[in-house]
Every structure is written in structure tokens, then in C-alpha cells.
Amino acid sequence: MRPSVRIALAGLVLIALAVAVGPLLLGVDALEQDLPAKLAPPFWMEGALAGHPLGTDQLGRDLLARVLVGGRTSLLVGFAASTLACAVGIVVGLLSGYLGGWIDRLIMGLGDLWIAFPFLVLAIATIGVVGSSTPVLITLLTLAGWVTSARVTRTIVKQVRGEDYVAASVGAGAGHLSVLTRHLLPAVAGANLVMWTFVVGTMVLVEGGLSFLGLGVRPPAPSWGTILSDGRELLETAWWIPLWPGLALTLTVLLVNLLGDGLRDALDVRMDDHA
């Protein structure tokens, strides 16, 4: 494994562990308000409070606890949505590319329409009607993300379906299911795995953006996006409030992209190196 992949994996595991176990070890309630302690700066600044190393927000809630707990939502939404989006994309892309003809044109046409449709309008409308919750966010982001994966999958399937080894398989009696699962799915797996890592980054960011706009998880429950959003009016005085979720978000996206880059290089085996 390349060093960059190793670093990225280790970093992501650390973040996941911190988010999962951190709040328990910390023993501080992320929702507990303590108005006298509001807007405490981080530890290295004058006026920092013991027990609040990263400072507090305008309601005196501990920022370390909030960033850790908020990470649960952000990462859950990000990883779940990108995984589902890629899964839906693979299934749709496989069918579209394999079946071809009018089904292919219909699916890809819908995909184009879908991409052209402003996602934010859909998000506002949906959340306006059913309200916001983690499952709703995951569903929305999945709906927004499947098309890219479907297109990439379809392109690969179109090409591989015409390869002679698929013809040989059919000639030996392979049915549709066998061709799809044995030849085509493995052929699209690599590209989708790489794409998945990039989509994770995007999804975490989009969740942050939605929460920032007030369309994400409902306060007081935190996510990185909502903490950022809370801190926006106080940027000049209490800049540390958006700093921490911003850093966490940036670091996560960076690591995931690093992982994607590494995987892409690792999976890019030259199949035809007959020098």
C-alpha cells in the first residue's frame, strides 16, 4: 500500500474513533448550556476556561464536545449518502449500459434532467414539507449524487460489454446475471471505489452547506455545518466557533481525497503492458 493511502486511512480511522468514542471519554454534554461561560476562547488565549480547551459558543456550550458529536452526524450523512449514491448509480448504470436501446436513452435522459434540476430547490421543498432529519438528509443527498456514478458505470459497461471475453462467456452459456455479476460488476468496481471517496468529501461538504443554510439537522443537535452556521454572526469576535468545525471538515475532505488519489493510482494497473 502506498504511504499516502496509509496516512489517509489512518487519519480517517482516527477521526472516526474520535467522533465515536471521544464524547463518551470527554463526559461533557454537547447540548448543556452554561451562559456565564459563553464565548470562552480556546486554551492558548487569555480568558480561556478550564474544561473548555477549544472554547465555548454563544450559549456557553463546550465546542470540543460539539465538534465531536457534530462529527457523528456529518460523517454519518456524508458516508451513508455517498455509499448509497454509488450503489444506486452502479445498479442504474449497469442496467442502462447492459440493456442499451430505449431503456438506456430513457435512464440517461432522466439523469440529465435530474442533474439540470436545481438541487437546492428540491432540498428546500422536501424539508419544508417533511421536515429535516438525518434519514431525510441522507435520502436527499443520495438522490443528488447517483447520476455521476451511473454515468461512469454506464460508460465502462458499454465498453466492456463489447469485449470478446464477455462474448466468450455468453458463448459458453452465461446468462445475463452471470455476465453482470462476474464480468461487468468487477470491471466497474475500481472506478466506483475511487469515485466514492470523492463523493464522500462532497457529501460532507454539502451536508455542512445545507445545515449552514438552516436546512440540515435541527438545533440544538450539532453537526459541523450547524456549528459553522451558529458562529457566522460572531466571526469577528468569536472566530474560533467556526474555526473548529471548519478545520474538521477540511481535514476529513482532504484525507478522503488523498485516499481516492492513492486508490486511483493503485487500481490503474496497465492491463495491456505487452512491451
CB 213 within 8 A of CB 64: no
The residue among 192 and 229 lying less far from other proteins, judged by its C-beta, is 192
Tell which one of 35, 186, 237, 247 touches other proteins (CB under 8 A). 186
The residue among 31 and 193 lying less far from other proteins, judged by its C-beta, is 193
* Smallest distance, other proteins to C-beta of residue 1, A: 19
Burial 28-50 (b: 16+ CB within 10 A, else e): bebeeebeebebbbbeeeeebbe
Tell which one of 3, 36, 173, 177 touches other proteins (CB under 8 A). 173
Tell which one of 73, 86, 183, 202 touches other proteins (CB under 8 A). 183
Nearest partner of 211 among 70, 58, 114, judged by Cα: 70
The residue among 135 and 186 lying less far from other proteins, judged by its C-beta, is 186
Which one of the spans 74-82, 134-142, 163-171, 191-199 is the region binding other proteins (CB under 8 A)? Answer: 163-171
Number of Cβ within a 10 Å radius of residue 272: 6
The whole-angstrom separation of Cα 125 and Cα 123 is 5
Q: Which residues pair with 62 in a beta bridge?
A: 56
Q: Find the angle CA(77)-CA(78)-CA(79) to the nearest 5 degrees.
A: 100
Q: Which of the residues 32 through 71 are near other proteins (CB under 8 A)?
A: none
Tell which one of 27, 129, 171, 236 touches other proteins (CB under 8 A). 171
Q: Is 169 in the site for other proteins (CB under 8 A)?
A: yes
Q: Is 267 in the site for other proteins (CB under 8 A)?
A: no
Which one of the spans 21-29, 36-44, 121-129, 266-274 is the region binding other proteins (CB under 8 A)? Answer: 266-274
Nearest partner of 121 among 106, 107, 140, judged by Cα: 140
The residue among 102 and 165 lying less far from other proteins, judged by its C-beta, is 165
Tell which one of 187, 191, 217, 241 touches other proteins (CB under 8 A). 187
The whole-angstrom separation of Cα 218 and Cα 227 is 11
CB 102 within 8 A of CB 165: no
The residue among 137 and 188 lying less far from other proteins, judged by its C-beta, is 188
Beta-strand ranges (E) seen in the chain are none
The residue among 94 and 238 lying less far from other proteins, judged by its C-beta, is 94
Q: Could you write out the DSSP letters of every residue in 29-46?
A: -TT---GGGTTPPPTTST
- Site residues (CB under 8 A) for other proteins? 163-165, 167-175, 178, 182-183, 186-187, 270-275
